[in-house]
Chain A
Amino acid sequence: MRLWESFDKNEISLLIIFAAAYFAYFILNKRVNKQVRILGLLWGITIGILFDFTIGGGLLDFYRINDSNHYELFDILYYLDFGPFGFFFFYFYETLHINKKTFIFYAVAWAIIGVAAQWLFTWCDIIKLQRGYHLSYSFPVFLVVQTATGSFFAQVKKREHVLVKN
């Protein structure tokens, strides 16, 4: 595995995003059931990996991550960056008391955040869109992802206490 091809804007940006996201995660996670917070992290990382290796690689190969199409050390950091956002989705769903009426707004808001994050990643040269893929195509992808995340979390909520007293 390569570490990186050239240590520049994308690697530095990834380090900053990683530090900021996990800092926020460790601040917020104290109130959340340990199993649920682990699941939130895993959910985020899995969704990132699943979509990047499905539409971002293989036959479709719609975007390139970091400096090459091959696995680099910073690709792992990129996937780990998704983890806290899975947790944040769970956390704010619970603390904002999202219900059947407000879920549509919540899912759309997260889909917009997803597209904005992807624009930021493109601007930071972390991902490079290719083969005619346009940023707007990510909106339906994020809509599906956020809806699936909300449905999954609703199932978790039914069975587990999400917020706990310290």
Chain B
Amino acid sequence: MGFAFYFFVSWLITIIFTLMKKKLTFVENSLLYLLTLIININYSWIISFELKLVNLSKDPLDYTAFMINRSIGIPFILMVTFNLIKSVDSIGKSVFIAVCSICVQVLLLKLGTNFEITNREKWSIINDFIYFALLYVVAFYSLKIFRKFRQSEAISR
């Protein structure tokens, strides 16, 4: 059940991202995806395998469900969020979109316990909120810096 659920969520968010009118460029979206993936893989590894604060299921399908959410669901939700934020004109709306997105991310992690994919007894949900808030802030400022690198020099092809 957990595998089917996370597969569906990841499929859905990938389709939404593919079909939506994107306000960020291809390289900006790529930056967000790659950066989120690096941070998220390391974060989930550290809290589960190093600190053992979150226990992962040893069932192959459940573990695959966890990896699908880690590698597709979370980064794509962040990318959809940032494209939506770029399309609105007020800070209030942007913050609202970001907060809703973080709530969805936390809810998806929390559901992992219901599907017995993760055991989060030693882990507080507040930590997840803090992690995603920081992840979004890091992604936001990285994108801002990345935009400054945009070059318009003549090509030498």
Contact = CB atoms under 8 A, between A and B. Distances in A.
Interface residues of A, number: 31
B78 to A, nearest CB: 14
Given A35-B151, A159-B27, A53 B41 contact: yes
Contact of B156 (A50, A71, A164): A164
Contact of A164 (B42, B56, B58, B154): B154
A105 B53 CA distance: 46
Which size class do B's interface residues fall under? 20 to 34
B153 interface: yes
B63 interface: yes
Interface secondary structure of A, over-half rule: helix
A59 B60 contact: yes
Given A35-B31, A159-B26, A161-B153, 17 more contacts: A34-B150, A35-B146, A35-B150, A35-B151, A38-B149, A42-B34, A42-B38, A46-B38, A50-B37, A50-B41, A50-B71, A59-B60, A71-B45, A155-B26, A163-B156, A165-B154, A165-B155
Given A35-B149, A42-B38, A50-B41, A57 B31 contact: no
A46 B37 contact: yes
Nearest to B45: A53
Contacts of B155: 161-165
B30 interface: yes
Contacts of A35: 27, 31, 146, 149-151
B50 interface: yes
B135 interface: no
Nearest to A31: B156
B107 interface: no
Interface of A: 1, 31, 33-36, 38-39, 42-43, 45-46, 49-50, 53-54, 57-59, 70-71, 152, 155-156, 159-165
B99 interface: no
Given A38-B149, A42-B38, A58 B49 contact: yes
A71 B41 CA distance: 13
